[in-house]
């Protein structure tokens, strides 16, 4: 960081007078260069057209607001081919064209905006003797190159409720119940574990059967109690386990 100096750029500004009230310090300064470059054609000119004064806020001093009364000039462009006949001198190390605060004060506001945002930044600035608005601070952040703005945090992905069964398991439970009403919850839980690697509790299965969804398959096996042969019963279970999902 550059060494702090009273004036934003002591090589380009001359301090004529320093005046102070109880809450404000006014520095009357003037530009020192005998010439200025036309912003359009870059040709230097010493032909002064007129003088004018800009009121520019600067960094505070010990909590007191500092205002620069900047005496600056307009020049004639000496380039006959240039369409800009008159231009105002630029002092980019001090203040941007048409700005009402110094570049270094803008830097302070930008840092405050990045650190605290609009509302809290405004309160901190007020404590330093600076007056700004949340919109101003946020506007300075938006004006920065995109590379300086930290990326948005990744979107918050809600954790899946572990109590909620995936839809395919819920569908399988109601299908099993529709295909074979004699299955008891723990038997359906076993089938779900074999097919999906997830074993819902009997209580969950009862809840799914009470709340849906609707079955997507119809009965394909005879009711369990009508199958008298024990081998056929086991085969029916294996058939249900190996049936396609959904």
* Contacting residues toward Zn ion, per CB under 5 A: 38, 40-41, 77, 79, 82, 84
**Whole-angstrom Cα distance, residue 246 to residue 174?**
10
Closest by CA position to 216, among listed 164, 163, 170: 170
Beta carbon of residue 39, minimum distance to Zn ion (angstroms, whole number): 8
Which of residues 47 and 186 has its CB atom nearest to Zn ion in the complex?
47
Which of residues 44 and 243 has its CB atom nearest to Zn ion in the complex?
44
**Whole-angstrom Cα distance, residue 17 to residue 40?**
33
Which of residues 48 and 82 has its CB atom nearest to Zn ion in the complex?
82
Beta carbon of residue 91, minimum distance to Zn ion (angstroms, whole number): 18
**Whole-angstrom Cα distance, residue 59 to residue 129?**
9
**Whole-angstrom Cα distance, residue 192 to residue 178?**
15
Question: 72 has which bridge partners?
Answer: 52
- For 28-46, letters b (16+ CB in 10 Å) and e give bbbbeeeebbbeeeeeebe
Structure tokens given for 211? 């709340």
Which of residues 25 and 36 has its CB atom nearest to Zn ion in the complex?
36
Which of residues 82 and 120 has its CB atom nearest to Zn ion in the complex?
82
**Whole-angstrom Cα distance, residue 106 to residue 96?**
10
Beta carbon of residue 11, minimum distance to Zn ion (angstroms, whole number): 24
């Amino acid at each position: 960081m550059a060494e702090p100096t009273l004036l934003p750029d002591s090589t380009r500004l001359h301090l004529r007078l320093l005046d102070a009230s109880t809450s404000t310090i006014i520095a009357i300064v003037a530009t020192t260069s005998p010439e200025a470059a036309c912003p359009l054609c870059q040709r230097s000119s010493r032909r002064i057209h007129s003088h004018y004064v800009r009121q520019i806020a600067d960094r505070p001093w010990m909590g007191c607001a500092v205002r620069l009364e900047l005496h600056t000039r307009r020049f004639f462009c000496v380039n006959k081919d240039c369409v800009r006949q008159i231009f105002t001198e630029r002092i980019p190390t001090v203040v941007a064209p048409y700005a009402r605060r110094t570049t270094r004060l803008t830097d302070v506001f930008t840092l405050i905006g990045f650190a605290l945002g609009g509302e809290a930044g405004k309160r901190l600035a007020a404590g330093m003797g600076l007056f700004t608005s949340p919109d101003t601070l946020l506007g300075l952040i938006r004006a920065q190159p995109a590379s300086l703005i930290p990326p948005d945090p990744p979107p918050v992905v809600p954790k899946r409720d572990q109590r909620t069964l995936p839809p395919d398991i819920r569908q399988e439970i109601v299908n099993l119940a529709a295909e074979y009403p004699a299955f008891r919850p723990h038997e359906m839980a076993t089938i779900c574990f074999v097919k999906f690697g997830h074993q819902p509790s009997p209580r969950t299965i009862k809840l799914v059967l009470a709340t849906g969804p609707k079955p997507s398959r119809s009965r394909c096996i005879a009711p369990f109690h009508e199958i008298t042969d024990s081998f056929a019963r086991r085969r029916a279970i294996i058939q249900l386990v190996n049936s396609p999902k959904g």
